Amino acid sequence: MSALSNVSKKRVSYFYDEDVGNYTYGPGHPMKPHRMRMVHDLVVNYGLFRKMESPRRATARQMTRFHTDEYIDFLCRVTPENVEELSQQQTRYNVGEDCPIFEGLFEFCSISAGGSIDAANKLNSGESDIAINWSGGLHHAKRFEASGFCYVNDIVLGILELLRYHQRVLYIDIDIHHGDGVEEAFYTTDRVMTCSFHKFGQFFPGTGDISDIGIGKGKYYAVNFPLKDGMDDWSFQNVFRPVVQHIMDWYRPGAVVLQCGADSLAGDRLGCFNLSSKGHAECAEFVKSFNLPILVVGGGGYTIRNVARVWTYETGLFAGEKLSEDLPYNNFLEYYGPEYKLDVPANNMENLNSPAYLAEMKAKVFENLRNIPFAPSVQMQEVPRNYDTDEDDDEPDTRTSLRQRNMRIVPDTELSDSDDEGGRRHERSYHSNGLGNSSLRKSRSDKKKSAVRSERAHKSSKSNKPRGVIMEEVLNNMSRMPMPSERQTLISSPRGGSGVSSPMSTNMSTPALVVTKPMDIDDVRVLTKREPDTDGDIVMD
């Protein structure tokens, strides 16, 4: 499968919930959902809204396709007021410092998860070629615990939805942190290949060595490219392009999920790479050139003015629109001074990734990839549920008190320019209370402790199966699903090297940037006893 030099404009769906910027992880915490409001404000003021269509929401009861019922029930019930009463569960589910309990936590998680699930359905139905959910990309969350600022793994949920129509899905991660939660979920299957380019060493989460390649049927289907400090544009492209090209040639995925974590940019508060916004976007442009359905999600990024600029730039790139380098007037213009430019430049940071080191890592990756069979096949049958005609339960009419709304308001001090640029005062606060150290320097021994907690939680849910086995069973069940109709088969066929495209894709002269507000997934089923799956949902033990 070769990259296409000239690709026609795509139909692009863009998912945004206006409430996502209202939540706060707490004073001094580097994760700021407010950045999503800044991204959307730039997208609108660049005129991309002219290509937006009416939004459509995602269905409910989908978090437990991956996460345990007990964990989702905990997220539903826990609040800052009752967290002390649930202290035992708080430890069990790894919430506290890096992953604090804040007002509206479950609603915040539902926005992220709902956007990625609905985006996957847009691709499955053939209505869009590219679906963007910048609120997603929370790649550290595990099946039964939070991790690294992430509570619900929207990426895994989106991939599970894509697997209903596509035999193989490729996940690419350019966040500076290893995508451990997604890799762990699909570690034993060949239906999902994970590929992560990340900082490795004394750095959170401490996983993602080049020797981590998967086990069982998933052996060689986990690709990890460990990097050192100072990675620049030229070096990154010198490894990203050949590795992704090789994977595309041999694995031939039907769809791609691209995690565009912005903490790999130069000057990030928690990052140590030296990518410019153009270097970061070159990865997105290269993936787009294969002409496959792409689910694009956000991820890390802690200098929020840089996050807003690079994700806006990449939104325009996916939509086929060239954006002016001069920022338009917007509600957060003061954040972008004194230059007020769209570009995020690289700095003069030393690159510790020597050409010899990168060549050695690249050779090892290629050697591992040579062990996989060409385009592994999977038996598929007709999909039992059609997303478009699935009946949605009406969302309950909820009431939020004035006190609850005020608790979700982000203080002005949390959004100051100094906080954005490294937050000297807030950054000291963050590191002094232990959050920074636990995020940046969590060692492998810490991960072993996490594994012990995970095993304990696993046993409590009456399952002694090793990592990845449950996910493998889910995927095996999916392989016995009925095959899509002829129309759906055309949609799921790779639209790159095969030259087969959806009949719904014939008119692409004008990009359609669809803004979609995902449904809050707030009526999750918490099952005490497994019941037959009546609506086609994938339910995990």
pLDDT digits (tens, 9 = 90+) for 329-344: 999 999 999 999 999 9
For the chain, what's the residue count?
541
Which of 154-163, 258-267, 412-421 is predicted with the least confidence, judged by mean pLDDT? Answer: 412-421
**By three-state DSSP, how is residue 147 classified?**
strand
Q: What is the predicted pLDDT for the residue at 62?
A: 83
Q: How confident is the model at residue 523 (pLDDT cuts 50, 70, 90)?
A: very low
Is the pLDDT higher at 469 or at 373? Answer: 373
CA 311, 317, 323, 325 dihedral sign is: positive
Average pLDDT over residues 215-233: 97
Q: What is the predicted pLDDT for the residue at 370?
A: 92
pLDDT above 80 (res 469): no
- Range among 104-118, 477-491, 503-517 rated most confident: 104-118
pLDDT in tens, 171-183: 999 999 999 999 9
Q: Where are the beta strands (DSSP E) in 82-141?
A: 130-133
The answer to whether residue 483 is domain-embedded is yes
Q: What is the predicted pLDDT for the residue at 301?
A: 98
Q: What is the predicted pLDDT for the residue at 23?
A: 94
Q: What is the predicted pLDDT for the residue at 528?
A: 32
The answer to whether residue 5 is domain-embedded is no
Structural tokens at position 461: 């849910």
The answer to whether residue 509 is domain-embedded is no
Instruction: Tell me the binding residues for substrate.
Output: 98, 148, 302
pLDDT above 80 (res 350): yes
**Pairing mode, strands 513-516 and 130-133:** unpaired
Average pLDDT over residues 29-36: 96
The answer to whether residue 526 is domain-embedded is no
Q: Cα(305)–Cα(345) distance, rounded to whole angstroms?
A: 13
Q: What is the predicted pLDDT for the residue at 10?
A: 84
Q: Taking every pair of C-alpha atoms in the chain, what is the biggest distance, in angstroms?
A: 61
Structural tokens at position 148: 């690294």
Q: Cα(245)–Cα(365) distance, rounded to whole angstroms?
A: 12
Q: Cα(377)–Cα(385) distance, rounded to whole angstroms?
A: 22
Structural tokens at position 2: 């070769």
Q: What is the predicted pLDDT for the residue at 176?
A: 98
Is the pLDDT higher at 448 or at 120? Answer: 120
Alpha helices in 135-269 (DSSP H): 154-162, 180-185, 233-251
Which of 46-60, 220-234, 424-438 is predicted with the least confidence, judged by mean pLDDT? Answer: 424-438
Q: What is the predicted pLDDT for the residue at 44?
A: 94
Is the pLDDT higher at 302 or at 56? Answer: 302
Q: What is the predicted pLDDT for the residue at 257?
A: 99
The pTM of this model reads: 0.77
| Residue of 139, 140, 178, 458 marked catalytic | 140
Q: Cα(283)–Cα(134) distance, rounded to whole angstroms?
A: 16
**By three-state DSSP, how is residue 227 classified?**
strand
How is the chain split among helix, strand and coil, in percent rounded to 5? 40, 10, 50
Is the pLDDT higher at 123 or at 436? Answer: 123
Residues 6+ apart with CB under 8 A from 514: 11, 12, 13, 14, 51, 52, 53, 55, 122, 128
Q: How confident is the model at residue 374 (pLDDT cuts 50, 70, 90)?
A: confident
Degrees to nearest 5, angle at CA 150 with 145 and 156: 80
Which of 183-192, 368-377, 452-461, 464-473 is predicted with the least confidence, judged by mean pLDDT? Answer: 452-461
Q: Domain total for the chain?
A: 1
In the β-sheet with 294-297, what is the strand arrangement from edge to edge? 222-227, 192-199, 169-173, 255-259, 294-297, 130-133, 12-15, 513-516
Q: Where are the beta strands (DSSP E) in 112-153?
A: 130-133
The answer to whether residue 405 is domain-embedded is yes
The answer to whether residue 4 is domain-embedded is no
Q: What is the predicted pLDDT for the residue at 373?
A: 85
pLDDT above 80 (res 230): yes
Q: How confident is the model at residue 514 (pLDDT cuts 50, 70, 90)?
A: low
Task: Please identify which residue in the block is written with the tokens 């945004």.
Answer: 16
Residue 360: CB atoms within 10 A of its CB come to: 12
User: For residue 192, what are the domain limits?
Assistant: 12-374+400-493
- Structural contact between residues 2 and 19, judged by C-beta atoms closer than 8 angstroms: no
Q: What is the predicted pLDDT for the residue at 468?
A: 55
Average pLDDT over residues 130-156: 96
**By three-state DSSP, how is residue 513 classified?**
strand
Q: What is the predicted pLDDT for the residue at 59?
A: 52
Instruction: Tell me the binding residues for a divalent metal cation.
Output: 175, 177, 263
Q: What is the predicted pLDDT for the residue at 380?
A: 59
Average pLDDT over residues 485-494: 35
pLDDT above 90 (res 209): yes
The answer to whether residue 174 is domain-embedded is yes
Is the pLDDT higher at 387 or at 190? Answer: 190
| Percent of the chain topping pLDDT 70 | 66
Average pLDDT over residues 31-38: 96
Q: What is the predicted pLDDT for the residue at 488?
A: 38
| CATH number of 301's domain | 3.40.800.20
Query: Average model confidence (pLDDT) for the chain?
Result: 79
Q: Cα(228)–Cα(78) distance, rounded to whole angstroms?
A: 38
Q: Return the amino acid letter for 268.
A: D
3-state secondary structure 168-221: CEEEEECCCCCCHHHHHHCCCCCCEEEEEEEECCCCCCCCCCCCCCCCHHHCCC
| Percent of the chain topping pLDDT 90 | 60
Annotation marks residue 178 as catalytic: no
Q: What is the predicted pLDDT for the residue at 418?
A: 42
Q: Cα(346)–Cα(277) distance, rounded to whole angstroms?
A: 8
pLDDT in tens, 72-102: 999 999 999 999 888 889 999 999 889 999 9
pLDDT above 80 (res 401): no
User: What DSSP designation does 391 have?
Assistant: P
Instruction: Tell me the binding residues.
Output: 98, 148, 175, 177, 263, 302
- Residue 412, Cβ density class (10 Å: 0-12 exposed, 13-18 middle, ≥19 buried): exposed
DSSP characters over 269-280: SS----B-HHHH
Average pLDDT over residues 293-320: 97
Q: What is the predicted pLDDT for the residue at 537?
A: 43
Q: How confident is the model at residue 423 (pLDDT cuts 50, 70, 90)?
A: very low
Q: How confident is the model at residue 438 (pLDDT cuts 50, 70, 90)?
A: very low
Is the pLDDT higher at 359 or at 407? Answer: 359
The answer to whether residue 391 is domain-embedded is no
Is the pLDDT higher at 433 or at 466? Answer: 466
